[in-house]
Structure 1
Amino acid sequence: MTVSEAFSDCSTSPNECNGGATGSGGTLTYAVARPVSGWNLNDADANSLETAQVLAGVLPAAFVTHPDLSTTPNPDLLESAEQISAAPQVIEYRIRAEAVWDDGTPITGNDFVYAWRTQNGVDCTECAAASTAGYDRIANIRSENTGRTVTVTFATPFADWRSLFGTLYPSHVALAKGGTTLAASWKWFNDTVPTWSGGPYKVAAQVPEESVTLVPNARWYGRTRPALDKMVFRVISDPAAAVTALRNDEVQAIYPQATPDTLRTVEGLSEVDHVVTPGLGWEHLDVNLANPLLADAALRRAIFTAIDRRAIIEKTVGGVDPDLKPLGSHNYVPSQSGYRDVVTAAGQGYGDVTTARRLLVEAGYSGVGTSLSNAGGTRIDLRVSYAAGNDQRRQIAEVIQVQLSELGITTKITPVEEFGRTITTGDFDLILFAWTGAPFPTANALQTWASDGGGNYGGYRNPVVDDLLKQAAAETDPDRTAVLLNQSDALLTDDAYVLPLFQRPTLLAVNHRFVNVRDNPAGTGPLYNVAEWGLRR
């Protein structure tokens, strides 16, 4: 961990470090790498870290994941949330009487029902949910006590039930804007800047592609009143430009991709506190299985075998964390107890060009090492895509381009402007991005690897993996869950669909004037406690 004094106790007190009393007033401008692509965070197109951070102070959530990765009922919204029956599995949520949307409408079970029906994959097939995991297992939701007691009954047990209802939207607004047509309100929420709020802040202004401004929600019902007069999210795609803006006090907090150059510059800023920590997020290379060329598992295995992740790490984040190793799992990072390296055993990701070439020759490819063609005579020309403006992924793409040329594969590096639309429409061959971590391994696995997973953008299908994931999702023993997920991971790895690259180190840098801003490896990152941010008293 690289750290300055304000964050020096984060390793021992991650939930309280950089804490303190706040004064009133002030503006904090926070740099985000990409603009909001849609306002419905539950939609696959809009589901990005940047959108999640912008809306963290607007959307109510049932649970909060803290920096130490403990997950507790959100005390602002709920009095309690507990499992009251195991067979069938029943969860009871008790909503605080004070919890209201900013127009005074109570937050009730109707909002839970709206979240369920738009994300269960059945009631709204036109709602392109980022994930249906867990919602598709709910049998019914009942409300009592004027909607303040919500009882959720599962048709099939779901171990990661605490991952659900993390982004609630107002059902009464949905009814007003879309009537009883769920798809209409879903689209309205995605297209429309929120005029409503259920959190400590509300949107006051937006300049498309440039900034979003939040101000305190006058009807906020939570324990902590926002101390700031204003929160501004400013789009700065270039990490170097974000650091310059931090130096010039144009922004007061940045959370860029951690690079050696960025870290060195931040370390030289006397008015800035910073911390580098291992995150739950991880970088990866994905294959589009709808591409007829890439439907051949032999080609995919050869590609993954030829890529050397050590060279990628050395080129990008090795200077930030010299001890960082290639990631060996699709479901866990090394700091989690379930982690098991299944990638190394498959021979993937270590630059074994000789073996990769042999795989291609055995599969009937010609021009191996010069100009690769498959057995049908089609040249293997591929795009390597990434979100435009992401310099680190450009560097990764360049390394991969050189490595795949040793197989005779021609690659075109393709930065894309509308990244969310690119992955959801499948307009890619090979694509680089990162998953944002959360301490819910089965929910994450169902979202990304199940045949019907909302985040399964490359079209992966393996019925044995599906069955193992379903078993894991119903398993209450974490050790047994890990066994099932690692079994599915070994199959997924052999299918060569996604190559894990490395666990992402995170860099948070904050002007020393501000307090209670700290990193969180899960979810929205530092924004998890945005109501507590303020000027240091």
Structure 2
Amino acid sequence: MRFGRRAAPVLALAGVLLAGCSNTPPPPVVTSTPAPSTSERPAPSQIVAGVDDVVGGYNPHVIADSSTITSALSQLLLPSVFRQADDGTRTLDKTLMTSAEVVSQSPFTVRYEIRPDASWSDGAPIATEDFIYLADRMRNEPGVIEPAGYRLISDIKQRDGGKGVEVSFSKPYPAWQTLFDNLLPQHLLKDAPSGWQGALASSFPSVAGPFAIKTLDTARGEVVLQRNDRYWEKPAAVDTLILRRSDPSGIAAALRSGNDQFSLTHPDSTGLQLLNELGPTVQLHTLPRPLTASVLLRPVSATLSDSQVRAGVAALLDRTKLINAGAKGGPPATLKADAQVLPPSAKGYTPTIPAGSPAAPDPAGADRYFTAAGYKKEAGVWRKGGKTLSLVLASPGTEEPYASIAKELSAELIAGGIQVSTITPQPRELFSSLLAMPVVNGQQQAGPDSTGNVGVDIAVAGLPVGGDPATVLASTFGCAPGQSTTDKTKAAVPANPAGLCDEALQATIDSALTGSATLADSLKTLEPQLWSENAVIPLFQDAEALAVGKGISGLTPGAPMQGPFGTAVNWTRGASSGPETTTSAG
């Protein structure tokens, strides 16, 4: 080897000497351009979506965080046992699970098997503890989305080193496949200083989906997601997915130029017109969301515990004006909610609202109800025992459509002779604190509590309607297990934001939840009674406009009330996959 390395210069030198003895000039030096490398990486592919906002929180299990961005990120980042197809059917998500089946009817028991390779992005395995954590929080925390199914869980056992889960129920639960969506990393959240109330307030501590967060910048209004290299299943087809905030004119301009491939927004009538003016190159779809904008006349209020007063307040409402104030001519305007349980977009929806109030205002009826409750109208204001009829009206911060509805509602009540104090707490404070103030003998404390919080008489809020209808029924209108039989002199947190727990209705609600009676039969009995309670006055189902432009393939409107992000792993840059004709979202 050493000899060979020394021979090369010697031979080269000999060549030079021979050339020097020749009259022939040396050949010219030829420089060649190297051929392009075939191993160069292609430019990263990205898809950009326009949205109204990217501000959190991002916990998909709390009503306070219900938003387009939360729904999108949870579908992109979090694992679920079952997923909904575009037709609404639920199928086992085999990217996470190997099986899930009912193994016993007495007690009702479901056994789950998690894939051995399923793990969080920090390397921790997805395991039984994640199921236990979510079930405990859903059973015990206020302001969560559709907790009734979780409240039936009596025990969760670990199997197979944490990759097996056995869940026992106190009663049969036909809708068990709706449980354990959007599992959370308990190893990072269980002992976090901020607890459940701070969970996913500003970001995701760990993920287990096809995408991961690269940056989440609420000041710039942009979330950049990249392909999750630690995901154990099919990788996302695109490298980067960007969710970018803009106003209606900016959204329309970005779709027209092709800078945005699609948008998912809540436009008013003007914004909707801008989208329609984009022409046939952009397909528009109205996507109902799993929330119904509602007015809650809370029976736990010291004032509204009197059914005559609730009826009087309901009779003052101009429901059409409230709907117009919130919908603003946008997609929700076509989804007027005229039933208590099923939203307008749900299969089997039929209007059940009775004639009279609250379908239409009835000032004369309001006078009769207030008079029957012992009030007298003096100088245009209702009074009783020298005290003015005064109500606290709350809505979640500046969130729309609730802020606009609350403004209109306040004006209507004041015009009807009621003094109104309007408060706008942050959404998490409203649902986890103010609407969860303990009640004694069925009523919340009238004055401020030790932290200065005041009892809320009326709330304008979105109520969840996206899950199993019987579960929606029990979660929105039912008592918590044992609530109707416990000692009412002991403080208890209301079972739902409306604060409604009517023992006369509970048996029928339980029958629907456990499958011993059909939902249709139960609603025939319950709908008239729920309207007569005047506790929940639904207005409209929330909805978004999906605008699909140029340069994206594989995007569909998605499962009912879920939106398009469930299939994002398959999206590619290319021609739009939408229909050839434009569909108006209004």
Give the TM-score range, shorter chain: 0.7 to 0.9
**1:271-310 matched pairs, under 5 angstroms:** 271-310=281-320
Q: How far does the alpha carbon of each residue in 1:356-390 deviate from its partner, in whole angstroms, 9 at most, with x for none? A: 2222233232228x633232233234455444555
1:344 aligns with 2:354: yes
Aligned partner of 1:197 among 197, 200, 207: 207
Show the counterpart of 1:516: 554
- Which one-letter code corresponds to 1:363 in the other structure? A
Show the counterpart of 1:460: 500
Show the counterpart of 2:223: 212
Show the counterpart of 2:432: 424
Aligned partner of 1:91 among 106, 110, 133: 110
Q: 5+ unaligned residues in a row in structure 1: which ranges? A: 1-22
1:267 aligns with 2:286: no
For residue 344 of structure 1, report the CA deviation from its aligned partner: 1.7
- Which one-letter code corresponds to 2:553 in the other structure? V
8 Å contact 1:130–1:455 — kept in the other structure?
no
8 Å contact 1:281–1:503 — kept in the other structure?
yes
Larger mean Cα displacement after TM superposition, 436-445 or 57-66: 436-445
8 Å contact 1:298–1:360 — kept in the other structure?
yes
8 Å contact 1:310–1:326 — kept in the other structure?
no
Aligned partner of 2:461 among 433, 444, 447: 433
1:111 aligns with 2:122: no
1:483 aligns with 2:521: yes
Show the counterpart of 2:448: none
- Which one-letter code corresponds to 1:219 in the other structure? R
Aligned partner of 2:542 among 499, 504, 517: 504
CA distance in 1, matches of 2:385, 2:242: 55
CA distance in 1, matches of 2:457, 2:270: 30
1:526 aligns with 2:564: yes
Aligned partner of 1:58 among 71, 77, 85: 77
- Which one-letter code corresponds to 2:427 in the other structure? F
- Which one-letter code corresponds to 1:424 in the other structure? S
- TM-score normalised by length of structure 2: 0.74
CA distance in 2, matches of 1:278, 1:185: 32
Q: 5+ unaligned residues in a row in structure 2: which ranges? A: 1-42, 435-453, 481-492, 576-586
Aligned to 2:310, what secondary structure does the other structure show? helix
Aligned partner of 1:448 among 476, 480, 486: 476
Aligned to 1:519, what secondary structure does the other structure show? coil
1:28 aligns with 2:53: no
1:168 aligns with 2:171: no
Show the counterpart of 2:40: none
Cα 1:308/1:239, change in 2 over 3 Å? farther
Q: Percent identical across equivalent pairs?
A: 22
1:474 aligns with 2:497: no
CA distance in 2, matches of 1:71, 1:164: 11
Cα 1:530/1:30, change in 2 over 3 Å? farther
Show the counterpart of 1:14: none
Aligned partner of 2:171 among 142, 147, 156: 156
CA distance in 2, matches of 1:42, 1:115: 9
For residue 332 of structure 1, report the CA deviation from its aligned partner: 0.5
For residue 160 of structure 1, report the CA deviation from its aligned partner: 1.8
Q: How far does the alpha carbon of each residue in 1:311-344 deviate from its partner, in whole angstroms, 9 at most, with x for none? A: 4445664855799474222211245455454432
Aligned to 2:129, what secondary structure does the other structure show? helix
CA distance in 2, matches of 1:116, 1:355: 45
CA distance in 2, matches of 1:390, 1:244: 25
Cα 1:514/1:505, change in 2 over 3 Å? same
Residues paired across the two proteins, number: 499
- Which one-letter code corresponds to 1:26 in the other structure? Q
Cα 1:44/1:266, change in 2 over 3 Å? closer
Cα 1:198/1:262, change in 2 over 3 Å? same
CA distance in 1, matches of 2:397, 2:500: 25
8 Å contact 1:140–1:153 — kept in the other structure?
yes
Q: How far does the alpha carbon of each residue in 1:115-156 deviate from its partner, in whole angstroms, 9 at most, with x for none? A: 2233332xxx7x875553222222323343444343322121
- Which one-letter code corresponds to 1:374 in the other structure? R
CA distance in 1, matches of 2:333, 2:189: 49
- Which one-letter code corresponds to 1:167 in the other structure? N
Cα RMSD, aligned residues only: 3.5
- Which one-letter code corresponds to 2:233 in the other structure? G
Aligned to 1:115, what secondary structure does the other structure show? helix
- Which one-letter code corresponds to 1:69 in the other structure? G
CA distance in 2, matches of 1:338, 1:443: 16
For residue 501 of structure 1, report the CA deviation from its aligned partner: 0.9
Q: How far does the alpha carbon of each residue in 1:154-212 deviate from its partner, in whole angstroms, 9 at most, with x for none? A: 1211122112101212244457x55xxxx876467445632421111122222245443
For residue 536 of structure 1, report the CA deviation from its aligned partner: 1.9
- Which one-letter code corresponds to 1:79 in the other structure? T
Larger mean Cα displacement after TM superposition, 152-161 or 399-408: 399-408
- Which one-letter code corresponds to 1:71 in the other structure? R
CA distance in 1, matches of 2:396, 2:559: 22
Show the counterpart of 2:339: 329
8 Å contact 1:383–1:412 — kept in the other structure?
yes
Aligned partner of 2:381 among 372, 378, 385: 372
CA distance in 2, matches of 1:240, 1:454: 43
Show the counterpart of 1:7: none
Cα 1:305/1:290, change in 2 over 3 Å? same
CA distance in 2, matches of 1:28, 1:160: 36
For residue 456 of structure 1, report the CA deviation from its aligned partner: 1.6
- Which one-letter code corresponds to 2:295 in the other structure? L
CA distance in 2, matches of 1:487, 1:245: 50
CA distance in 2, matches of 1:200, 1:325: 33
Q: Name which one, 1 or 2, has greater alpha-carbon Rg.
A: 2
Aligned partner of 1:356 among 366, 373, 384: 366
1:396 aligns with 2:408: no
8 Å contact 1:31–1:251 — kept in the other structure?
no
8 Å contact 1:436–1:523 — kept in the other structure?
no
Aligned to 1:535, what secondary structure does the other structure show? coil
- Which one-letter code corresponds to 1:285 in the other structure? V
Larger mean Cα displacement after TM superposition, 140-149 or 296-305: 140-149
Aligned to 1:54, what secondary structure does the other structure show? helix
For residue 302 of structure 1, report the CA deviation from its aligned partner: 1.8
CA distance in 2, matches of 1:348, 1:405: 17
